[in-house]
């Protein structure tokens, strides 16, 4: 069998195998892809090298695409997977595979040097994409039946390795257009204090006011009082018309999971919410791993119905293709619906672990 036949076949096999290994073992193994393209081209002609490197890219991307989308992935989004991955680096694999035979003849000519430079640049690019990044987030979302102007929340802190991690509270999150976001915008006016309580150190959050969940747009305001605006109509029908949210997030964090502290009645669990397999490999999963309770106090001089949604999470991930990455998330969530008072409540929470492949192009 000639090289024109078996090298492209080998390229297909290597692409499939490399995709599985990069997903299963470590994202940095994505960096092997340029080296495979170079080796396949080095031991063949420029035409065979071009074909082999292209098939290497296609087989590798096919596996990643099927990890990202349930089969069949031949949808408009699935097709874009190939296009964007090719544009963001895949085409350089073809250039390397096509030019690699020049290096076999010697490295003193301009073409050989150019191929080696491209190989080095693509290795650096793949290394940058596949480098594992870490991040933390802590957020609280408030929904109330009244616009409370003296609301105080006592919430659990977060910890890593059983030690409080207060650094995250130095990183408040803000983004343009937050006023129109889901469940209202970010609260800009609030106070924050770590205080001693009967449950140990807790986070005391003071919120001097909430905002209406549905604000009229500028266009609606220009229409005048007739017809009534959404903010005029909704509060009577909506049980929780006033909202506020506070978010803290940071990147370049420690590699340990972020967890609530203090926690009580902790019970380990294993309940699979969802999972998906590609062959024998589990490529996506979301499962409950722990149940617990945390102390919370919601205080105000005005009695009102209130809902609290509290969440912290740890995320890590690295690229396993030019436009795809594998991500892992550990999150802890607490939901409370109560009436404002000065009483402590032990609220049930759960920890969920999940992982999967995602695309940076929607």
Whether residue 318 sits in one domain with residue 282: yes
Does pLDDT of 233 surpass 50?
Answer: no
Per the model's pLDDT, the better-predicted residue between 229 and 79 turns out to be 79
Whether residue 181 sits in one domain with residue 262: yes
Q: What is the pLDDT of residues 55-112, one digit of tens each?
A: 999 999 999 998 987 655 556 666 788 999 999 999 999 999 999 999 988 888 899 9
Whether residue 137 sits in one domain with residue 100: no
Rg (CA), the chain: 27
Using an 8 Å Cβ cutoff, are 335 and 139 in contact? no
Residues in the chain: 362
Q: What is the pLDDT of residues 153-170, one digit of tens each?
A: 999 999 998 899 999 999
Whether residue 117 sits in one domain with residue 162: no
pLDDT for 141 equals 94
pLDDT for 184 equals 47
pLDDT for 223 equals 41
Collapsing DSSP to helix, strand or coil, 53 comes out as: helix
Give the separation between CA 45 and CA 58, rounded to whole angstroms.
20
Whether residue 190 sits in one domain with residue 286: yes
Does pLDDT of 360 surpass 70?
Answer: no
Collapsing DSSP to helix, strand or coil, 328 comes out as: strand
Whether residue 257 sits in one domain with residue 149: yes
55-81 burial string, b = 16+ CB within 10 Å, else e? Answer: bbbbbbbbbbbbbbbeeebeeeebeeb
pLDDT for 79 equals 78
pLDDT (average), residues 264-280: 94
Give the range among 31-45, 64-78, 175-189, 250-264 with minimum mean pLDDT. 175-189
Residue after which a domain boundary falls, among 109, 130, 151? 130
Q: Which residues pair with 55 in a beta bridge?
A: none
The average confidence (pLDDT) of the chain is 87
Whether residue 223 sits in one domain with residue 162: yes
DSSP 277: E
Whether residue 271 sits in one domain with residue 168: yes
Whether residue 317 sits in one domain with residue 234: yes
Q: How many domains does the chain have?
A: 2
Whether residue 125 sits in one domain with residue 143: no
Contacts (Cβ under 8 Å, ≥6 apart) of 117: none
Residue after which a domain boundary falls, among 81, 115, 130? 130
Give the range among 136-140, 177-181, 353-357 with minimum mean pLDDT. 177-181
Whether residue 274 sits in one domain with residue 194: yes
DSSP state string for 142-165:
EEESS--SSEEEEE-EEEETTEE-
Residue after which a domain boundary falls, among 111, 130, 149? 130
103-129 burial string, b = 16+ CB within 10 Å, else e? Answer: beeeeeeeebeebbebbeebbebbeeb
Whether residue 81 sits in one domain with residue 188: no
Give the separation between CA 230 and CA 138, rounded to whole angstroms.
31
pLDDT for 262 equals 95
What is the extent of the structural domain holding 161?
133-359
């Amino acid at each position: 069998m000639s090289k024109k036949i078996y090298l492209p076949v080998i390229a297909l096999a290597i692409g499939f195998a490399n995709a599985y290994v990069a997903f299963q073992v470590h994202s940095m193994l994505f960096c092997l892809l340029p080296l495979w393209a170079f080796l396949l081209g080095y031991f063949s002609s420029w035409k065979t090298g071009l074909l082999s490197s292209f098939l290497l890219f296609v087989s590798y991307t096919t596996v990643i695409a099927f990890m990202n989308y349930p089969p069949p992935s031949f949808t408009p989004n699935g097709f874009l997977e190939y296009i964007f991955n090719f544009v963001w680096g895949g085409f350089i694999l073809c250039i390397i595979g096509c030019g690699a035979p020049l290096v076999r003849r010697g490295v003193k000519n301009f073409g050989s040097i150019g191929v080696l430079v491209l190989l080095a640049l693509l290795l650096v690019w793949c290394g940058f994409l596949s480098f594992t990044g870490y991040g933390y987030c802590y957020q609280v979302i408030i929904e109330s039946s009244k616009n409370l102007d003296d609301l105080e929340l006592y919430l659990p802190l977060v910890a890593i390795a059983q030690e409080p991690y207060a650094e995250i509270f130095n990183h408040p999150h803000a983004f343009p257009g937050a006023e129109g976001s889901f469940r209202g915008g970010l609260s800009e006016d609030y106070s924050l204090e770590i205080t001693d309580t009967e449950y140990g150190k807790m986070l005391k959050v003071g919120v001097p006011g909430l905002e209406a969940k549905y604000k009229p747009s500028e266009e609606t305001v220009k229409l005048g009082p007739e017809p009534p605006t959404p903010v005029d109509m909704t509060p009577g029908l909506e049980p929780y018309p006033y909202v506020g949210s506070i978010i803290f997030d940071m990147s370049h964090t420690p590699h340990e999971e972020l967890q609530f502290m203090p926690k009580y009645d902790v019970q380990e669990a294993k309940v699979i919410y969802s999972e998906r397999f590609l062959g024998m490999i589990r490529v996506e999963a979301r499962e409950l791993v722990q149940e617990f309770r945390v102390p919370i106090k919601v205080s105000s001089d005005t009695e009102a119905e209130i809902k609290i949604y509290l969440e912290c999470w740890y995320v890590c991930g690295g690229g396993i293709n030019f436009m795809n990455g594998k991500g892992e998330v550990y999150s802890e969530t607490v939901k409370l619906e109560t009436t404002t008072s000065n009483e402590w409540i032990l609220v049930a929470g759960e920890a969920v672990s999940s992982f999967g492949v995602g695309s940076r192009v929607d």
